[in-house]
Amino acid sequence: MSVILKEIWKHAQVSRVELVASTGLTSGTISNLTQELIQLKVIREYQSISGLVGRKRVMLGFDLRYYRIIGLDIGRSSFEIVLTDLAGNKLQATEGNVNGHTGPEGYWAVIGPYLEAIKNDVIAEGLKIVGLGVGVPGPMDHEKGILINPPNFKGWAGYPLKEVLERQYGLPAVIEDDARTSALAESRYGLGKSGADLVFVTMGIGIGSGVIFNGEIVRGTNSLYGQVGHMTIEPNGMRCECGNQGCWETVGSIIGILRRFDCGDMNAFMTAVREGDSDALRCMEETLRYLETALINICNMYDPEIIVLGGRLFPYISEYLPVIQERLRGRLFAFAKDRVLLQPATFGESQSAMGATATVLDALFSRPLEVLG
Amino acid sequence: MSVILKEIWKHAQVSRVELVASTGLTSGTISNLTQELIQLKVIREYQSISGLVGRKRVMLGFDLRYYRIIGLDIGRSSFEIVLTDLAGNKLQATEGNVNGHTGPEGYWAVIGPYLEAIKNDVIAEGLKIVGLGVGVPGPMDHEKGILINPPNFKGWAGYPLKEVLERQYGLPAVIEDDARTSALAESRYGLGKSGADLVFVTMGIGIGSGVIFNGEIVRGTNSLYGQVGHMTIEPNGMRCECGNQGCWETVGSIIGILRRFDCGDMNAFMTAVREGDSDALRCMEETLRYLETALINICNMYDPEIIVLGGRLFPYISEYLPVIQERLRGRLFAFAKDRVLLQPATFGESQSAMGATATVLDALFSRPLEVLG
């Protein structure tokens, strides 16, 4: 059943005959399993007119009518909730900031009512929510759904996020590092849909990355794989909350920029840049240099096909993307310099929340009967 | 057959009953395939006395008597050749330097006679060489066995190494980046034998790494995965041959050290360090700082279970390993700081050549009938 769902995902629509060919299962088995999936309302039949003779074929695709997935992104100062169908189409989105609230209780006071409202709406329509996917700053214990001790994120250390959400909303919850959900959104719905290995770099209050190889999130031994924000980029730089010194995050994140150019917020900084303030221009140039160095290190260490840039800082620097790509070309191994694709994130502020829905889809595809209860 | 060979490798010795249980194959299939492998002289039966009752059991293990593997490491100034059996036991080793020769022709003039002699010895004993594994500075096209344009390695750009060796010696050849062969030696025969994810950092004239996840070498899109020597470690540092600026290799390798403390060779440098020359001491301290920063980046980006250090520079700095491990602990994410194991390479100067034999073993295990001709 899992194999069939993954095939349908890959091709959007597929015939039973094609499923027999691609899975190696017998046509009897394909008939039985697809019938069961149709009864579960996970897939349905579509009529398709093929070829010149106009012969009708019956194709199988996801049934987009019954199941819904909620994706929640918990940021360091904001949140986003999306509702999707089984094809990852965004049906609804809600965003907001947490208005100075800190720690889980403060966040739930703001986010809780929205989650309740969305859940009740779906139920009122007679539809079913498959699960709740959550992107949140790492590091974390993904399996257990417990945050470890995310830097710059007070009050969340050791918080059993998965357990709390499952109890609160009665839905299966999948908890994932927000950089990894962002990468997954790009891999499942965006630039990596054809299977490219990619690194998603998210730059905001912190800096992190999600790395996808062979279609899967890479986590490492302690779930620290991809902590690019904590590579040393200023050898004699300041101490970081992670324990290291001169981390990219300490200088290249929103916090890092506003520490170097003390002006309140990013809009004030950008105004100073546009007005030609020499300190602001120098700070922007430094920020781009840090980014450039970090990207070179990412290329030489991960060697991905695509690097995607996103996060709340990114809109402020997106205009420099062609310049950065050009500078990278000048610093990469000559034979590979034209092969690294630097791209902006596909889903903007919904990136992590969209990826959070993809974590639930992945769970559904891997263990359909268990996830559908 | 491949599954059986991998099981035997994992357990060294295993009974047919255990093979049925672990592979899910029928006992008839196991009987036929093991019989074929015994006839091929790849495996043989061993008598084993098990348990208190002293019942004899027939176990299957590799037949160490007939097949031999040659491992060759081609370094930037030296070479090493080892001969092993199918269990990776080193039966013979030859090392030497290339005495100022450059480029393939110069190297073959030195190495060729040793390879001929070893091959002829094995044949004279009535034994058979499975293949020739080669470690050589990357980057390269591993599948085609062609070097690309290795920095600091004049005359080898574009050289079709695999094809030349196969024609010259009539043996299947496997060509691999020397940092990756070194990592593979550690994974198959050394510290990673139980399956640990590891990064092998080789420091010599250049600096590189081989990364093993889930028992497999990770290569990346352009075969550049693991080019840790080309991460920027000095943001305003000198231009590197790779195209980047301030690469770790430009300051932390043997060449980098001798560029910063101009004294001819590493022995002269170490003498100056031991005599307390203040410039030499400062250069050593800088070298350790670079290493420390690089290792932090490796931890935060690859998050491995084990980091293994080797290469021709390593013996000169091995005494500082406990200091470096301690400094790392102070800079890693607190929850993970006791989990990174920093270890010296197991096979010293034979590291890459041993790993080169493992590339042939891997090929044998994956495609036994093809490799044995």
In this prediction, residue A373 carries a pLDDT of 84
Q: What is the ipTM of this complex?
A: 0.92
Q: Is B248 helix (H, G, I), strand (E, B) or coil?
A: helix
Token pair recorded at residue A19: 């499923």
Q: pLDDT category, B52, cuts 50, 70, 90? A: low
Superfamily of domain A67-182+350-371: ATPase, nucleotide binding domain (3.30.420.40)
The residue extents of the domains of chain B are 2-62, 67-182+350-371, 191-345
CA B307 to chain centre: 13
Please report where in the chains the tokens 């994706």 appear, as a residue: A71
B233 secondary structure, DSSP code:
S
Closest by Cα among B339, B323, B354 to B202? B354
Of A243, A305, A337, the CB nearest to B221: A305
Quick one: pLDDT at residue B153?
Answer: 87
The amino acid present at B90, given as its one-letter code, is K
Separation of first and last alpha carbons in chain A: 15
Q: How far apart are CA B191 and CA B198, in angstroms?
A: 9
Residue B56 has pLDDT above 80, yes or no: no
Q: Is the pLDDT confidence value at A54 over 70?
A: no
pLDDT exceeds 90 at position A339: no
Residue type, B45: E
- Asked if A257 and A312 count as a contact pair (C-beta separation under 8 A), the reply is no
User: Averaged over A241-248, what is the pLDDT?
Assistant: 94
Structure tokens at B113: 């006679």
Residue A212: phi and psi, rounded to 5, are -115, 115
Dist CA B26 CA B52 (whole Å): 29
Contacts of B304 in chain A (CB under 8 A): 220-221
Nearest chain B residue to A336 by CA distance is B222
Q: What is the full DSSP assignment across A113-136?
A: HHHHHHHHHHHHTT-EEEEEEEEE
Residue B130 vs residues A281, B92, B124, B360: alpha-carbon distances, Å: 63, 16, 15, 8
pLDDT of residue B36 exceeding 70, the answer is: yes
- pLDDT digit string, tens, across residues A133-169: 999 998 899 999 999 988 778 899 999 999 999 999 9
- In sequence order, the 6+-apart residues with CB closer than 8 A to the CB of A46 are A13, A58, A59, A60, A61
Q: How far is A226 from chain B (nearest CA, A)?
A: 5
H or E stretch covering A344: strand A341-344
Q: Which CATH number describes the domain made up of A2-62?
A: 1.10.10.10
Best of A141, A223, A232, A247 to mutate (most B CBs within 10 Å, chain B): A232
If you classify domain A191-345 with CATH, what class do you get? alpha beta
Residue A320 CB-half CA count within 13 A:
19
Over the stretch A254-275, which tens digit does the pLDDT of each residue have?
999 999 999 999 999 999 999 9
A79 Rama class: left (phi>0) / alpha (psi -120 to 50) / beta = beta
Q: Residues B87-142: pLDDT tens digits?
A: 999 999 999 999 889 899 999 999 999 999 999 999 999 999 999 999 999 889 99
Contact list, B228 vs chain A (CB under 8 Å): 300-301
In the structure encoding, which two tokens stand for residue B33, read together?
A: 């395939």
| Integer Cα distance of A222 and B192 in angstroms | 17
Helix (H) or strand (E) holding B39: helix B27-39
Length of chain A, in residues: 373
Q: How far is CA A60 from the centre of its chain?
A: 27
Q: Quote the CA–CA distance of A186 and A195 in Å, as a whole number.
A: 10
Using CA atoms, how far apart are residues A287 and A295, in angstroms rounded to an integer?
12
Report how far residue B151's alpha carbon sits from residue B154's, in angstroms, rounded to the nearest whole number. 8
Interface test with A, best of B241, B300, B306, B326 (most A CBs within 10 A): B300
Residue with tokens 């002699």: B117
Contacts of B223 in chain A (CB under 8 A): 303
**Same fold for the domain at B2-62 and the one at B191-345?**
no
Rounded CA-CA distance B32/B23 in Å is 14
Interface contact flag, B233 A231, Cβ < 8 Å = no
Lowest mean pLDDT among A79-88, A361-370, B146-155, B327-336: B146-155
